[in-house]
């Protein structure tokens, strides 16, 4: 137990770097998708550079951070198995499963873009980018507030937060349509 706080610190550090990667990779996807509509040689130059940036981010930061965050979480749960019986921890682990699914889907998108397969629009990818934000907000509030949170208010809060994100996205889309340089 003397190492518990060190392991918890390492877990939090790698959660933070994992989220950093998950926040940035969809932005790189947006730029990659938009590069496909450019004329040559700009298309090739941007495409090559953005693929390299995405590859480095994904395999040097995001994947190792995900693996280490989960590894340290498993160690923490092994040291404190009673946490698994707490309702807030069970809900948190549900969000972790969602986060892993989000990560895997990002990996599939990454692989497609690396071979120049574009199935998403840049606007859809901007919207996709908000998934990790919603998961992060949910987990942080859940961990900090724990049992004091009323589940009904929590669900309503996440829905309202999602609606606000969608409205912000639509406003930004309108601004971009009026001014493509924004």
- Domain total in the chain: 1
CA distance 118 to 142: 36
Write out pLDDT tens, residues 70-122. Answer: 999 999 999 999 999 998 899 889 999 999 999 999 999 999 999 999 999 98
CA angle (77 as vertex; 72, 78 as ends), nearest 5: 95
Write out pLDDT tens, residues 13-62. Answer: 999 999 999 999 999 999 999 999 999 999 999 999 999 999 999 999 99
Question: Residue 77: which domain range?
Answer: 4-178
Closest CA to 26 of 173, 128, 112, 101: 128
Residues contributing to the annotated binding site for heme? 11, 92
Query: Can you read off the two tokens belonging to residue 110?
Result: 């990454």
CA distance 109 to 119: 8
Please determine, for residue 158, whether its predicted confidence score (pLDDT) is greater than 80: no
Residues contributing to the annotated binding site? 11, 92
Which H helix or E strand runs over 125?
Answer: helix 122-128
CA distance 182 to 173: 10
Residue 182 confidence class, pLDDT cut points 50, 70, 90: low
């Amino acid at each position: 137990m003397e190492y518990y706080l060190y392991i918890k610190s390492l877990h939090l550090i790698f959660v933070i770097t994992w989220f950093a990667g998950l926040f940035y990779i969809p932005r790189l996807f947006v730029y990659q998708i938009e590069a496909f509509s450019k004329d040559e040689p700009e298309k090739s130059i941007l495409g090559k550079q953005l693929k390299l940036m995405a590859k480095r981010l994904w395999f040097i930061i995001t994947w190792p951070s995900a693996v280490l965050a989960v590894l340290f979480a498993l160690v923490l749960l092994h040291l404190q198995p009673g946490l698994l019986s707490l309702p807030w921890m069970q809900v948190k682990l549900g969000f972790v499963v969602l986060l892993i699914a989000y990560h895997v889907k990002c990996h599939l998108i990454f692989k497609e873009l690396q071979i120049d397969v574009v199935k998403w629009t840049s606007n859809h990818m901007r919207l996709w980018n908000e998934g990790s934000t919603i998961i992060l907000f949910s987990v942080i509030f859940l961990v900090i507030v724990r049992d004091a949170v009323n589940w009904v208010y929590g669900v309503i809060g996440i829905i309202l937060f999602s609606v606000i994100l969608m409205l912000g996205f639509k406003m930004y889309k309108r601004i971009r349509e009026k001014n493509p340089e924004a």
